[in-house]
Each structure stands twice: as structure tokens, then as C-alpha cells.
Structure 1
Amino acid sequence: MRRPPEPRGEQTRLVEQSPWIVSEPDADPLTDTPVGVIHPAKRGGRVLDTPPAAGRLTISRRTIRVEKLARMVGTLRIRFTDIIGVGRSHRTINGTRVETVGVRHLDPPATVYTTEFSVWDDREHTLFTQFLRRYYRKQRRTIAAVDLSAAQLELLVTLYSAVGDIDIESILQKSTADITELFGPLREAGLISGGGIGSMLTGRGYMLVGERIDDDTL
């Protein structure tokens, strides 16, 4: 199958054209696509002075993967399950002001980074942004439908606030058996990963706790 012709008048950010886009909704939308990346742009809420770098972006197996990234050894990988936020902004790259999409994500167990992407081809950048925002909206709908007991929410908040090794039993004043019983439904809902006391929040779990805390403080 041939790639369809480029729309007339389309402006791209590089002379190099990006590879064929797979348009089927269930397929991986981008493969080996030229991209500018700022990683990390933020650690937690702190803005970092990280310069942009060029790389090749692929979405595959529910993972954002950037290879051939200058100044970085190895491959940058962000699993969709670790994404906790998606937003738009603008950056000046190589003297040109371009739109970027910022992805907030967990670096397990609990570090939060923001990585900014600017796909060189405008059409593919829009596709990438829409793909991420669609996933993020789906996560938000899933979270809104989750019904938690007070004990389950307390456990999630404890994991959310954890720094280093913690004694969950002492904090919650519950036995190991009681805490273990709480883990099953939370794991089935995709809110935690791991096993037993060593469990940690997934991106979905982190988002849920953040939203419930915000709701309680309004």
C-alpha cells in the first residue's frame, strides 16, 4: 500500500518527511518518526533546563519509544500505564516556535517527570497529540467510575505519599492480612502493581488519588 500524497501547502518542521502513518484506529499510529524531545522538562513541579534533542519516535505495544536520542544512552520508554497527564505548550527549537505536547508520567516507583515532544511533521504531531489525549480521556472516564471504600482510598493515599520504604501496617494500624485483602480489588482495577506490601501505584492509581485529594480540598 502506498502512502497517500501530502496535502498541498502543508508545512513541516524538517525537510525530511516522516514515515508512513498507519491510520487504522487499533494500529500503532507512528513508527520511526522524527521528533524533538525535552526529557525531562520537569521533575515533579520543578522546571529543568534540559535542551531539546532529536530522536526517532515509535508507538508500539502501548509504549512511547524514542531511539537515536542525542545525549542519551539507550532508548527512552514511557509506558501508557505510567502516563498521568497530557497537555500542550510551545517551545522554540532551532529558532522556530513549535507546539509541543507535554506528557506527565511516573518513573516507578514514585518519581514524576514531564517529557515534552514535538513531532516534526505537523500532521503527525496532531495525530500523536490526539492519540495521547484519547488515551488520557479514557483513563479519566475509568477513574470516575471507580468506587472505593474508605480503607481502600486510605491505602492508596499512603502509597501516593510514600517516600522510600514505609511500614504500611504501622501507618494504617492494620494487620498484614487486612492490608493484603485490600490489594486484590485495587490490582484488578489497575490502580496498583506489584504484590503484597511491595505494591506501588500505577499511573491510573496516581491520577485517581490526585483527583480525590483535590476534590476533598475544594
Structure 2
Amino acid sequence: MTDELGSDTGVPTPTPDEGVETDYLADSRTASLRTDGGSDGADTDTGETAASPASTGATGEDLLEAYRNKKDAADDASETDAERERRLRRSKNGESIIVDFVANFVAGGEATFEPVKGRVLMSERRLILATSETKTVVPITSIFDIAVGQVPAEVEEFFDYTVMVGYVVGNRRRTTVIGGDRETIEKFSLLLFRAVLNGSTTHVKHPAKVGGRVMDTPKRKTGLHLDYESVVFPGNDELGETEGPFEIDLASVIFFEVIERTIDDEKRLVLSVQHVENGQTVTSEMSMGSRRKMNILGRYLRLIYHWIKSDVRDVEVEEETLEVLVGLYSTGPGIDLASLLDLDEAELASRLGELYDDNLITESELPCDLTPQGRFVVNEEIEGVNV
């Protein structure tokens, strides 16, 4: 299965064929909540067991209780704001609330397919969609797909921007759709991707290729961490990793494909990513034991690429201004960029202003860094030259 960036990853978008338990979120302190979802079950793609609320030490009530305590203690002036925030955002079993907002959603229940308004809570272990009378609990380990910005036809009249979350309950696949303004949904989606993927044990081969030359690089066992601008593979003593970390700048990615290979007598998905590093095309390969996580990582790469590319789609950079951008990319601090590019100071200042207005650099004057969009433009230019 291949993915030229900008096309579908080949991961099927879950069909929202489940209903929703409807009601409006009233006072959560007096709500009678019951569990809908999150029962034990095997992930049909990976053979992993989807953790239920019970298997992770709670039914979701602890997390909701943390939210209720937050409301009850809002006027307590005996603690500092920081102390109170830390205490109120942690449940009895040590689970932290990392997401808390009100949204319209369609949860994977058994009633009509109709959006309701409620509260979206998320910890490192579970996602909870709560109204005054119902709640849907989605263990993070049960999530097999995250699709951002694709509004299903069944609810397009209700939502402008959504994230669809596919998850497993028992042996059944379900879908929940959460809608809201674009900024809120995008921020929530990034946190959700991180909750699913961060800390995953990953086998990495970097570089697998430099240009077209295959490298005899051994696989490394390491962790994985998502940042907005990069995927980081840190050194990890617990995993026996002694080498330093490396990262893939997502603005430098030019192509990726997901291929199936036999590793240790087992068929696994391998994500092969071509990206620009130090002015040349490098291929890195990574794999995880979970097909579910591999698919979600592919979703994440495509999403960030799409966001960065969308931001520069209508940007037209003059050749002289592009030379300044490439010069910033190629040189370090302390370099006299005006002399290097044979420009006077006024001309350089004007070009920097244009790049800043187009959101390609972080400041309108030196010193400054390239934004992800700026690095994307430079890497496309480098790739064009290499071809």
C-alpha cells in the first residue's frame, strides 16, 4: 500500500453506522452516568487486547469525578492556581485530564444517528464523551483510526469540521464523530494522535537509503514521540538504546509508503519515509508490532503534510526572495547573509519582510528561523534540483 503525499493512505475510513445516546449535558455533579463502550475485546487488526475501563483501573467515573471536583473547588483560595490546577486535573487513580471541552458529537451507541451536545474529556488512558445521562468510554488502546476534517455525509448538515475516531468494542468496530470549530478540533486531534502513539516501541532503520544508495544500517529499537513539526525517535535506556535521538522534520517529507515485509518470521507493516536531510534525499524505515498504530502513524504524517502544504498552496515566492529563504536554511547564525547573496541591507530587509508576511520565517528581521511552511518550500526546491 503506497501513499504519495496528498492522496489517501489506504486506511479505510470507518463508516458511521452506529447511533448515539442522546441528551444534553446538564450539571455533571448530579448526572446519572452509565458506560457505553470500552468493553474488553481483541483488536482484529493486531491481535492486541483493547483495554476496557475496568482493566485500566476505573470505569471512567474517576476521570469524571476529577472534573466535578474541579468545578466544586473553583472558589478555593487556599491554594495557588498552579497547585489547584494540578490537583483538580488528576483523578483518584492518578489519571490526568489532558483534554476538557464542550462539543457536539455523535457517539457509538445504539440510538439515532443524531449529534448531541456534551463534554469531551480525555486522559492518557481513555476518551470520554459525556452528557447528563450517558457517557461513551473509548479506551485509547481500542482506537484504530483517526480521520480529521472529513465530515461524514450523515452529519454534514450539523458540523463544519470534525474528527472521526474509529474504535473497537468487543469484536465490533464503532465510530464517534466530534465536531466544532477548526482550531479546537485540530488541537484536540493532535493530542489524540499523541495519546495513541507516544512512547510506542519502534524499530527504526535510519538511514535506510541516501539518495538511491541502499545503506547497511542496523535496525534500532527505540521509542516514538510526536511533535507538531517532527516525529522524534529518542534514545531510550529502558529499551537498550544507546545511540542519540534523531527526528524526521515533517516539513521535509516528500513521499512515504506503507509496505508489508516479513520480519522475524512475522508479516509486519513498514513505513518508509523519504525526506530531505542536509540537502539530500534520505529514506528512513520504521515499524511497530501493531498494525493499528502503523495505520494511525500514516494518518498523522499525511495530515501534517496536508496542513503544511495547504498553508503554502497560494504563496508565490519570487526567485530572488527564494534565494534568501534557501540562504537562511543553508547557513548558520553569524553569517553575513547580505554579503553572501550580494544584496544590500535594504534589499535583504525587504525580502525578509516578504518571507515573514508569507509565514515562511519566524521574524521579519535577523536572526530568524524558517517555519515548517518555509522548510517545506525549501525542501521542494532542493528536491526539484536533485531530480
Same fold (TM over 0.5): yes
User: Is the deviation greater in 84-93 or in 197-206?
Assistant: 197-206
Q: CA separation of 1:31/1:6 partners in 2, compared to 1, >3 Å: closer, same or farther?
A: farther
Q: CA separation of 1:196/1:37 partners in 2, compared to 1, >3 Å: closer, same or farther?
A: same
Q: Percent identity?
A: 25
Aligned residue number for residue 138 of structure 1: 307
Aligned residue number for residue 33 of structure 1: 200
Alignment of structure 1 residues 23-172 onto 2, 5 Å: 25-29=189-193, 30-60=197-227, 62-67=229-234, 68=236, 70=240, 72-80=242-250, 82-90=251-259, 91-105=261-275, 113-158=282-327, 162=330, 168-170=337-339, 172=341
* Pairing partner for 1:174 from 335, 343, 348: 343
Deviation per CA, 1:141-183, whole angstroms, max 9, x where unpaired? 22222122342123234556x5889764345331133213312
Q: CA separation of 1:112/1:28 partners in 2, compared to 1, >3 Å: closer, same or farther?
A: farther
Aligned to 1:181, the other structure's residue is in SS state helix
C-alpha deviation, 1:45, in angstroms:
4.9
Aligned to 1:132, the other structure's residue is in SS state helix
Aligned to 2:201, the other structure's residue is in SS state strand
C-alpha deviation, 1:52, in angstroms:
1.7
User: Is the deviation greater in 172-181 or in 57-66?
Assistant: 57-66
Aligned residue number for residue 16 of structure 2: none
The whole-number CA distance in structure 2 between the counterparts of 1:163 and 1:49 is: 30
Q: CA separation of 1:77/1:112 partners in 2, compared to 1, >3 Å: closer, same or farther?
A: same
The whole-number CA distance in structure 1 between the counterparts of 2:373 and 2:244 is: 27
Deviation per CA, 1:72-131, whole angstroms, max 9, x where unpaired? 424334454x43324015354324453322334455x75654322212201111011011
C-alpha deviation, 1:212, in angstroms:
5.5
User: Is the deviation greater in 59-68 or in 131-140?
Assistant: 59-68
Q: CA separation of 1:206/1:33 partners in 2, compared to 1, >3 Å: closer, same or farther?
A: same
- Structure 2 residue runs without a partner (length 5+): 1-36, 52-124, 126-139, 144-164, 166-187
Contact (CA 8 Å) 2:43, 2:50: kept in 1 or not? no
Aligned to 2:320, the other structure's residue is in SS state helix
Q: CA separation of 1:62/1:143 partners in 2, compared to 1, >3 Å: closer, same or farther?
A: closer
- Larger gyration radius, structure 1 or structure 2: 2
Cα RMSD after superposing both structures: 4.1
1:5 and 2:172 equivalent? no
- The structure showing larger relative contact order (alpha-carbon pairs under 8 Å, at least 6 residues apart) is 1
Contact (CA 8 Å) 2:279, 2:382: kept in 1 or not? no
The whole-number CA distance in structure 2 between the counterparts of 1:53 and 1:150 is: 41
Contact (CA 8 Å) 2:221, 2:241: kept in 1 or not? no
Greater fraction of residues in helix:
1
Contact (CA 8 Å) 1:84, 1:204: kept in 2 or not? no
TM-score by length of 1: 0.70
- Structure 1 residue runs without a partner (length 5+): none
| Counterpart amino acid of residue 202 in structure 2 | V
Aligned length: 212
The whole-number CA distance in structure 2 between the counterparts of 1:75 and 1:66 is: 6
The whole-number CA distance in structure 2 between the counterparts of 1:96 and 1:42 is: 23
Contact (CA 8 Å) 1:152, 1:182: kept in 2 or not? yes
Aligned to 1:27, the other structure's residue is in SS state helix
Contact (CA 8 Å) 1:155, 1:172: kept in 2 or not? yes
Q: CA separation of 1:118/1:62 partners in 2, compared to 1, >3 Å: closer, same or farther?
A: same
Contact (CA 8 Å) 1:89, 1:101: kept in 2 or not? yes
The whole-number CA distance in structure 1 between the counterparts of 2:335 and 2:213 is: 25
Contact (CA 8 Å) 1:84, 1:206: kept in 2 or not? no
Aligned residue number for residue 204 of structure 1: 373
